[in-house]
Chains A and B, each alone.
Chain A
Amino acid sequence: MITLLIVSHSYEVAQGVRRLAAQMAPPELAIVALGGVPEDGVLEDGVPEDSMAPADYGLGSDATAILAAIEEHWTPAGVLILVDLGSAVMNAETALDLLPPETAAACCISNAPLVEGAIVAAVEAGLGHDLCQVNAAAEAVAHVAKVQRPPV
């Protein structure tokens, strides 16, 4: 089963998307949320990362953190990286550049919209589909109208 990595500029967005996606997936699917960057001074104060509160995070994304998350959660089936905007995409690309080529080859940065894409990816990945299939289903979300309007 592949791993889903959710990358947002916001801690709360990343956590919220992870919760939504987890509702759609079996418990064995790994969904990792990465959002925001530690506020100035938080790390210097020696606060351990796993006990940081949401308020300890500012907005932003960090290639090093993405790299560490991929290294920790990588599986041979692959890692689908769902991103929100701009520099989250660039930082994900940077992280892949820093990985050994064979590890990076089993990672894919998705073009899917973050929320809908994560929900569809969670269902598809939970069914055991491969990285390309899951990403194709998630990216297809972008072509679906949310509101059905009569033709003008």
Chain B
Amino acid sequence: MSETLCVRITLNHPQGLHLRVGKDLVTVANRFAAQISLRNVTRESPLVDAKSILQLMQLQARQGHVLKISAAGPDAQAALDAMCALLEAEAA
């Protein structure tokens, strides 16, 4: 069993985790074999599957909310890097 890697990231986009970013996250997440989960730490949401748009929409993440992204699997590090890169690019 591979270890679970985690990273925390604060959403800087004025619209938070809006639909299009959600779609991009799901698309990126589906390129990896790793199990990728997200949690809205600010809302104390349950863990959701990053590969499902339906579950991502339930995070209801707004600007300033902290997301915790976890990944487990052979390409977990690459998956986390890709997810973070996407969210950071979105904030710029």
Contacts and interface: CB of A to CB of B under 8 A. Distances in A.
Question: Which applies to chain B's interface (DSSP): helix, strand, loop or mixed?
Answer: helix
A23 B27 CA distance: 13
Interface in A113-152: 119-120, 123-124, 126-127, 137, 140-141, 144, 148
Contacts, number: 29
Contacts of B15: none
Given A127-B27, A127-B30, A148-B60, A24 B54 contact: no
A24 B18 CA distance: 11
Interface of A: 23-24, 119-120, 123-124, 126-127, 137, 140-141, 144, 148
The 8 closest A-B pairs by CB, nearest first: A123-B53, A24-B23, A120-B54, A127-B30, A123-B23, A120-B53, A123-B26, A140-B54
A24 B60 contact: no
Contact of B57 (A126, A127, A144): A144
SS of A interface (majority): helix
Interface of B: 19-20, 23, 26-27, 30, 52-54, 57-58, 60
Given A23-B19, A119-B19, A123-B23, A137 B54 contact: yes
B21 to A, nearest CB: 11
